[in-house]
Chain A
Amino acid sequence: MFGLKSILFAFLLLMTSPSSYPKPDHINPNIVLITIDGVRTQEVFYGTDSSLSSDDYISETKLFPNIYNYGAENGIMIGRDSPMYATGPVFISLPGYLEIMRGAQVKDCFVNTCKPKYKSTILDDLYYKNYSNIAVFSSWKPIRNIFDKDEKRFHFNNGRTNNLPIIFPEDISYRADEDTIYEAFSYIESNSPQFIWISLGDADGWAHRNNYEKYIDSLQRSDQFIGQIIERYKNTDYGKNMTIIVTTDHGRSKIWTNHFKDKESSKVWMMMYGYNISKLGFMNINHKLYLSDIRQTILHIINN
């Protein structure tokens, strides 16, 4: 028979084993996830498309100076040497964002008006890892439909409110990226969220309207925003522990104004920079990558 002392000893041993408590130096990095809706790999890796524009060609590094500086030079870029895809079978926004958030293939939503049953997302993972402030900002209102309508654990700020200008008259619930960026920046300043997803959508809106000039302008503004976030916080406690991830929900069809079932619109890309991200530049991995990998990637970043 084991004596009381033996049981107590075993219990104390268990309590003090290295795996039973967090490492003393472990911190929860601040994750900033930025999605830019419907940005194809053409512009990200090869610059402007001269078949769509009479303006002078803009190289990819001039079009996205911050993504290249922080991703290609000081972080990780995916989508050129290692192709990355939205799983599909339809390559549209809500299924794409669901795939990112759930970290799984999406079998219950094939239209943007779907009201999917709530399934666990990366936000739940972070909540259970004691992330204290989790927020979702988006220009496009249906992003909110990814999450349970009664969800109270997270802060949501999605779509346009009546005091803001209308950018696309066909969708008055859509908020211009400029306003989403302002709201998100203000929230970071005052709340220092440990996880914030900022979803921008102007680029896709202009592409659908066959306005290449404004599509390019939207991309440049999005890149500028990425630079602003990094520069603003790089010398702060918040920024020292910050990882920034930038990606898109789908690409574009061969006819660039569209995206739906055409496999061309499944091609996506991703950039990572900051805490726990090595300087690897353009990664070359020997298997296909998918949007569904992003949830596991975030978990890897916060667990190491």
Chain B
Amino acid sequence: MKMKKKYMKEPEPKEKLIMFKGEEEFFPGADLLLRLKSSLALIESPNVIGYGLQGNEKQYLFILANPIRLIDGNSNLKYIKCDTGNYFELGKQYNTSIHSLREELNNELKDINLDAFDYAKFVDNPNYKPQSIIHNGF
């Protein structure tokens, strides 16, 4: 029997939500990398290891380790939601299965500032003109 739609939908908290986008592929060693779409919330953790900015949209990158503590940075904000579907209540401490972080990851993130991104500075051969690998005569 077909279920009524309202019973299939997961109930959502009524408070204002902010969507966080996971970037697991970047740092698979950590279970949770949150990308804040704005600076509405702060995330407090001894294991926050870096942040970055991209384009005109202010985005902070954090990697969190166990345990994490989320602090309200805006009085209207009570929950955050990850793209994994989990809700986190601000101000509450969570025990997660997040792996310990590595020093290498810390080093990788600390110098990112994509807002003032100078492409040529970050690649070895910025003026490279692509060409065929094989040529006539081979």
Contact = CB atoms under 8 A, between A and B. Distances in A.
Is the pairing of A and B real? yes
Interface of A: 76, 78, 85, 87-89, 92-93, 103-105, 107, 110-113, 170, 208-210, 253-255, 257-258, 260-262, 270, 272, 277-278, 280, 283, 285, 288-290, 292-297, 299-301, 304
A255 B119 contact: no
Contacts of A210: 28
Secondary structure class of chain A's binding surface, majority of residues: loop
Interface string B99-138: 0001011001000101001010011111010111111101
A92 B26 contact: yes
- Closest A-B pairs by Cβ, 5 of them: A89-B122, A300-B132, A208-B28, A292-B130, A296-B132
A110 B114 contact: yes
B125 A258 contact: no
A105 B126 contact: yes
Contact of A301 (B26, B27, B105, B134): B134
Contact of A278 (B105, B126, B131, B134): B134
Contacts of B29: 255, 257-258
A274 B66 CA distance: 52
A112 B22 CA distance: 10
Secondary structure class of chain B's binding surface, majority of residues: loop
Contact of B123 (A105, A270, A301): A105
A214 to B, nearest CB: 14
B93 to A, nearest CB: 24
Contact of A76 (B84, B104, B122, B134): B134
Interface residues of B, number: 32
A296 B130 contact: yes
A295 B138 contact: no
8 contacts: A78-B133, A111-B23, A255-B104, A258-B28, A272-B134, A293-B130, A293-B133, A299-B132
B28 A93 contact: no
A209 B24 CA distance: 11
A254 B28 CA distance: 14
B116 to A, nearest CB: 13
Given A113-B21, A208-B25, A258-B29, A290 B102 contact: no
Contacts of A87: 123-125, 128
Nearest to B126: A105
B54 interface: yes
A171 B30 CA distance: 16
Given A105-B126, A253-B104, A292-B128, 11 more contacts: A87-B124, A88-B124, A92-B26, A112-B23, A210-B28, A257-B28, A260-B26, A288-B124, A290-B130, A293-B133, A296-B132
Contact of A208 (B24, B108, B124): B24
Contact of A296 (B23, B122, B126, B131): B131
Given A103-B130, A297-B133, A280 B122 contact: no
Contacts of B108: 260-262
Contacts of B135: 300
